[in-house]
Amino acid sequence: MFAEELSHFPLFKDLTHEQINKLAPIFWRVTLAVGETIFSQGDEARSLYVLESGEVVLRFFPEDGGSLDIEKIAKDGVFGWSAALGRPHYTSSAICLSAVKAIATNGMDFRRVMRSDKELSAVLIERMAQVVAHRLQSFRTQIHALLEKEENEYR
């Protein structure tokens, strides 16, 4: 990919030219249509995505039915962390709410590049942790609201 373009995404902001040049070749562009499922909960976690334009919803499907929207991802948002972290399966589904343009990388390639540069790895892991922590808080808030709603319905 386009090292110059990659450096504009918040995930890669302030990385050195050398670090950007290590990452750039492993990314490619993806174009998806409204309503398209990028990956489903339980699928093999293969790719990490950074949104260039459009909107994606991360949706969790509990075993007892229904679904919960964990978060809406907009421009510059990152999703598919399971692949980047070496997890075997995605923990939610990613569905296009609009036409989407994104960049993507194979999780194995991403981890290989991170292993080759400890400083790069530390920066990216810190940034990933912040995003994941935010999503967990959002998910907890939604679960709490759902439980309150159900409790109020039974009164």
Instruction: Report the C-alpha gap between 41 and 45 in whole angstroms.
Output: 9
- Ordered domains of the chain (ranges, CATH): 28-147 (2.60.120.10)
Tokens of 122: 């530390």
Helices 118-154 and 107-116 pack at an angle, to 10 degrees, of 130
Tokens of 133: 């922590």
Query: Cβ of 32: how many Cβ atoms within 10 Å?
Result: 19
In the three-class reduction of DSSP (H, G, I as helix; E, B as strand; rest coil), residue 64 is classed as: coil
pLDDT 10s per residue in the chain (155 long)?
578 889 899 999 889 999 999 999 999 999 999 999 999 999 999 999 999 999 999 999 988 888 888 889 999 999 998 999 899 999 999 999 999 999 999 999 999 999 999 999 888 888 777 766 665 666 566 665 655 665 666 66
Instruction: Report the C-alpha gap between 35 and 62 in whole angstroms.
Output: 21
Note the pLDDT of residue 76. Answer: 92
